[in-house]
Amino acid sequence: MNKRWIVGAITAVGLLLSGCQVQAPSKTSQSASSTTTTQASDATTLAKQTFRADDQAYQVVNENQSTLKPAAWQTEKIDYGALDQLNRTTTNTAYLSDRNLGRSNTRGRQNWRPTGWHNQPVRIGGKQVFPQSRGHLIAYAITFNFNQDGQYQQGQLGSSDNPKNLATQTEFSNQRTMQIFEDQVRQALIKHKKVIYQVTTVFRGSELMPRGYWLQAISTDKSLNFNVYVWNVEPKMQFDYVTGRGRVDQSMTVTDQYQGNRYTN
């Protein structure tokens, strides 16, 4: 009998007896490459993780299943979490319908300086860029007809300069990765679905810049359902999350799931 066949059979039996299973990497619907998964159930667990060069731009949490309860939806509103003792954002939960859609070109000036934010230009590839932005937890274009306290009020523009809805976010995380999921929410609203959408800024200890953004959403008909952790990183940049200050690092690369390749700016 072939010795290789015997060894293979013994290995297979051992795997079955030990309860191990070989599975294909999980994917989200928009991903062109395998996506890292985690079973984290709270922000503290997520905060313990550290991004490494070439890691993927986001992780799937809880097998991409939201833990939000659709039955809790009653009327349009945003529950803005209070700033913590360090003046940092916490968790915002929005109950949305198509009445909350608007256009980004109506956004006003932002004056609030979230923790860890620095208007710090750097030169990358001969160009001057600003690697940080003031990112909205709940995107501006889906916060129309809410007042500053998150109550439905017809005629109000979106949440532009609300301290409870702005945190320090890299340009890549804000404009590239997070928009993947914000667009899913927006498309569901365009189709007249009702959506519960929650964003939590994930800080490690007393750091002033978030390590990432934990996003969950579910529509009341459950056709939209995701649970992901978006890393707050920028290609070719390293950040001191304690202060939010950054420095150029040419070796810093991010695997962009949306495009299915390494993103180096």
CATH code: domain of residue 214: 3.40.570.10
Beta bridge pairs of residue 216: 198, 227
DSSP track, 237-252: EEE-TTT--EEE-TT-
* Residue 18 in domain: no
pLDDT at 26: 34
Indicate the pLDDT class of residue 106, thresholds 50, 70 and 90: confident
What mean pLDDT is predicted for residues 118-144?
Answer: 89
Lowest-pLDDT range of 30-34, 143-147, 155-159: 30-34
d(CA 200, CA 34): 24
* Residue 48 in domain: yes
d(CA 200, CA 32): 26
Indicate the pLDDT class of residue 258, thresholds 50, 70 and 90: low
pLDDT at 35: 59
pLDDT at 183: 96
Q: How many structural domains does the chain have?
A: 1
* Residue 2 in domain: no
Query: With b meaning 16 or more CB within 10 Å and e meaning fewer, what string describes 134-159?
Result: bbbbbbbbbbbbbeeebebeeebebb
* Residue 4 in domain: no
* Residue 15 in domain: no
pTM, to two decimals: 0.83
Q: Is the pLDDT of residue 38 over 80?
A: no
What mean pLDDT is predicted for residues 139-147?
Answer: 96
* Residue 245 in domain: yes
* Residue 8 in domain: no
* Residue 225 in domain: yes
- Domain housing 184: 25-263
Lookup: tokens for 173: 């995380």
